[in-house]
Amino acid sequence: MWNGIDIDNKCSFEDFVFVAHHAQIQNSHIGNHTSIGRYDKIREADIGKYCSISWDVTIGAPTHPFSTITNCALTYRKEYGVVDFDDNLPQKRTKVGHDVWIGCDATLIAGVTVGNGAVVGAGAVVTKDIPPYEIWGGVPAKKIGARFDEKTIEVLEEIKWWNWQPKEIRECLELFRKKLDYETAAKLKAFADNREK
């Protein structure tokens, strides 16, 4: 453990990942250029490239069985003095797309999928899948807007800029820094089409 960071040996990281102090990451994959905030808890998750995850975020919050006689973990955790074993209950894997922003204190329940380019507001509790480029907030979280119009989103999903090399992004830096509209997205698509030739 370094700087309070707790990462198990089932984790994998791509290049240029930043993990702030006191983050806990278990059995997860983190994509290129993703930033993990302080005191984040991530388990059983696949997180894409270029994501910005604020502080105190929980991704893959485990669920407890509530169809049995008790909600207590006494039937599968030895620290309660009833059983002499620890049994990890199966959890669904959580998926976070590329270029996702997750605000501070947000919680993603295990098994949800957050689409590319989505925004999760601070304090939100995400209990269902979020489509690409939508903005969700609240408890439980619901759609409160979209980042771009449908035509622009289609272009972004098609060009998959997050798979470009950093030098290609630098070539388009002026377009990346502009307010995105369909015209700018079309210019990015033209660049993407040319780079594939």
Phi, psi angle pair for 93, to nearest 5°:
-80, 140
Distance from C-alpha of 18 to C-alpha of 35, rounded to nearest angstrom: 5
Give the burial string for 108-137 (b: 16+ CB within 10 Å, else e).
bbbbbbbbbbbbbbeebbbeeebbbbbbbb
Sign of CA dihedral 129, 131, 137, 138: negative
Is 64 an active-site residue? yes
- Selecting among 22, 29, 33, 64, the annotated active-site residue is 64
Which residue numbers are catalytic?
64
